[in-house]
Chains A and B, each alone.
Chain A
Amino acid sequence: MSATGWPLVLPIITPLLAASLAFGLRRWPLLQRSVSILGMAAMLLFTVQLLGLVADHGPQAVAVSTWTAPFGIVLVADLFSALLVVVAAFTGLVVALYAGAEVGRGRESHGFHPFLLILLAGAAGAFLTGDIFNLYVWFEILLMATFGLLVLGGEKVQIDGGVKYMALNMVATILLLTAIGLLYGMTGTLNMADLHIKVAEVDDPAMLTVIAVMFLLAFAIKAGLFPLFAWLPASYHTPPMVVSALFAALLTKIGVYSMIRVFTLIFTHDMAITHGALGILAVLTMVAGVLGAAAQTDMRRVLTFTVVSQIGFMLIGLALMTRMGLVGTVFYMLQDILVKVGLFLAGGIAVRYAANESAYGRLGGLWMNKLWLAVVFLIPAMALVGLPPVSGFWGKLALVRGALEAEAWILTGVALAASFVTLYVVGRLFVTVFWKPAPALTEAEAQARAAYAPTRGDMALMVPAVTAVAVVILGLGIFAEPVLALVDQAAQQLLDPTAYITAVLGPDAVPPAPTLIGGVR
């Protein structure tokens, strides 16, 4: 355990304090926005520091308020969670920057920035907690913040989407809470590292599998897996584009993160059932997601469905539970957060030129006069498909290679086929928004569009935000080597949680013999 653990605490409390400050400054929009951006920048700084610490010295843990593990709540950072908080903080910074040009004074003064910061605190908390009940608490905080962001502005479609979102997510949290209660009843501990040890001692594997499946269902709703993703396309296209970007980037990933954490650290006792189910869900989610995206003719809805299909890809590695597969999963997750921010934000600018209309028939003609926008849209779009030289290529390469090595032919075939359909979807999207001639407009429509178009001041915020994302995606693709080395270490820590457990419980808590199926290591 590190001495006082501030590197683990700061990424969580920085956005929380900034949220309070931003709320106090809600009558001064510029000041509030500065607090929000500075808070995110500070959070990014602290998370990078944490990543450096974890990369150099292995997993870090701290027992908050000195109640030692396994009794108190611990915060733990292994490489996987440290990498995720860095990317999350970067996303938060980009979104806070872009928001100034998009959400408008009304929403800003009603608490956009505090909700945004609380959401980031919730994300950091979920990634860093080492206690499964505490994970549930962070999910509740996320739920509150996201519901606030979703209905902020109070338009009718937003309330409609918000209610669907809330209803299904409440089911998930209640299911999660029930599962946690049952698991606590069986093992007598909530500490995830301790659970790894205690679960191996449970003599009722059937009941344990039932609980594992309950966790699977709860996180499947959160992550938007087939067939439980209905809330996602029903709500993501209703709020301002920048809120959709944030949700698409972070929310489902927190579900996927929890799934990976729980199914590598706790439930590895019956992988034929749990990880087999994950494989089937991965296949169905990929198929349902791409077909949904191919069927839509509205940019926002198409992008929303790509969120679903990409979640399927991320699960491949977890279903395989091999080193190469997990490398693919972790890398794909990290880059997909950036890809979603990039696509939704660049799409948001494109939509602004069309008076916030996103139907295919109402878009077009941006290639000739907005070439830079086409470029910053194309980079994440290529990553979404998995084309070199951008980041998505390495993620898909590792996933497909992992699936081939494990001789999982169906997963391999579906992943490649789904990528192919994604190429069609993205191609059609790009042609429609940028190459197709602009639709014929009446005089009044043209004037309305001119009024919606981003002003010079908006551009000063939007361009750096979107460009930064595109540059990072391109950079991750070209200089993938150092990141992949880190991700490889992260995958090894996931497969062999000894270092994680030692960090939490000390070197004396010798974990039992590895429960992984033979041939994995």
Chain B
Amino acid sequence: MDSLILRVATRILAALMLMFSVFVLLRGHNDPGGGFIGGLVAATGIALSSLADGPEMVRRVLRIEPRLMAMIGVVAAVGAGLLSVFGGDVFLTGQWGYVLGVKVGSPLLFDIGVYLVVVGAVMAMLLALEEEED
């Protein structure tokens, strides 16, 4: 689709959606939100720019194969679960520590993993569908 209005609007909208997706991702720790819904918001933003600028452009900007992104996400999420080995806890139990005075924990890594899985999987499907049309 070649539309000037869509392309100009997308530049602002896609950036806003990506920012919002990170906000939702981080908010998910104590409030509604999290990796899954954040990932969907991000995927929507990227999908919008793939409609405006075409799938090749999106692939160039993403730099990483979407399916690979999903698989890295799986490793991150399962890895976050495996960190509980060090605390001697059950799989996926949150592990907490201080990095530079900020309290961080494995649930964030898990959420980031889920985020990557969702973005990667949705983009893999959407890009495949769009490229089929050409």
Contacts and interface: CB of A to CB of B under 8 A. Distances in A.
B88 A17 contact: no
B71 A19 contact: yes
A498 B78 CA distance: 32
A6 interface: yes
B35 to A, nearest CB: 15
A66 B75 contact: no
Contacts of B72: 20
A65 interface: yes
A13 B71 CA distance: 13
Given A4-B88, A13-B78, A23 B71 contact: yes
B79 to A, nearest CB: 8
A4 B74 contact: no
B96 interface: no
Contacts of A64: 90-92
Given A13-B81, A111-B67, A63 B90 contact: yes
B94 interface: yes
B67 A9 contact: no
A114 B124 CA distance: 15
B95 to A, nearest CB: 11
B90 A5 contact: yes
Interface of A: 4-6, 9, 13, 16-17, 19-20, 23-24, 62-66, 111, 114
Interface in B84-125: 84, 88-94
Contacts of A24: 68, 71
B74 A66 contact: no
Contacts of A23: 67-68, 71
A218 B129 CA distance: 30
Chain A interface, DSSP helix/strand/loop, else mixed: helix
Pairs of residues from A and B, 5 with the lowest C-beta to C-beta distance, nearest first: A65-B92, A9-B91, A20-B71, A23-B71, A66-B93
A22 to B, nearest CB: 9
B93 A20 contact: no
Contacts of B94: 65
Given A16-B74, A20-B72, 8 more contacts: A4-B88, A13-B78, A13-B81, A17-B78, A19-B74, A62-B91, A65-B81, A66-B90
Contacts of A111: 67
Contacts of B90: 4-5, 62-66
A4 B67 contact: no
A39 to B, nearest CB: 13
* Interface SS, B side: helix
Interface residues of B, number: 17
Contacts of B92: 64-65
A155 B93 CA distance: 44
Contacts of A13: 78, 81-82, 91
B114 to A, nearest CB: 13
30 contacts: A4-B88, A4-B90, A5-B90, A5-B91, A9-B81, A13-B78, A13-B81, A13-B91, A16-B74, A17-B74, A17-B75, A19-B71, A19-B74, A20-B71, A20-B75, A20-B78, A23-B71, A24-B68, A62-B91, A63-B90, A64-B90, A64-B91, A64-B92, A65-B84, A65-B92, A65-B94, A66-B89, A66-B90, A111-B67, A114-B71
A413 to B, nearest CB: 49
Contacts of A66: 89-90, 93
Contacts of A16: 74, 78
Nearest to B107: A65
Contacts of A20: 71-72, 74-75, 78
Contacts of B82: 13
A65 B71 CA distance: 22
A332 B16 CA distance: 57
Contacts of B75: 17, 20
B127 to A, nearest CB: 15
Contacts of B93: 65-66
Nearest to B110: A65
A5 B82 CA distance: 12
A19 B67 CA distance: 12
A111 B65 CA distance: 13
Contacts of A5: 90-91
A16 B75 CA distance: 8
A13 B92 CA distance: 11
Contacts of B81: 9, 13, 65
A6 B91 contact: yes
Nearest to A118: B74
Nearest to A24: B71
Contacts of B67: 23, 111
Contacts of B71: 19-20, 23-24, 114
B134 to A, nearest CB: 16
Pick from A17, A24, A65, A111 the residue with the most CB of B within 10 Å: A65
Contacts of B68: 23-24
A87 B71 CA distance: 27
A4 B89 contact: yes
Contacts of B91: 4-6, 9, 13, 62, 64-65
A20 B113 CA distance: 12
A314 to B, nearest CB: 32
Contacts of B78: 13, 16-17, 20
A16 B79 CA distance: 11
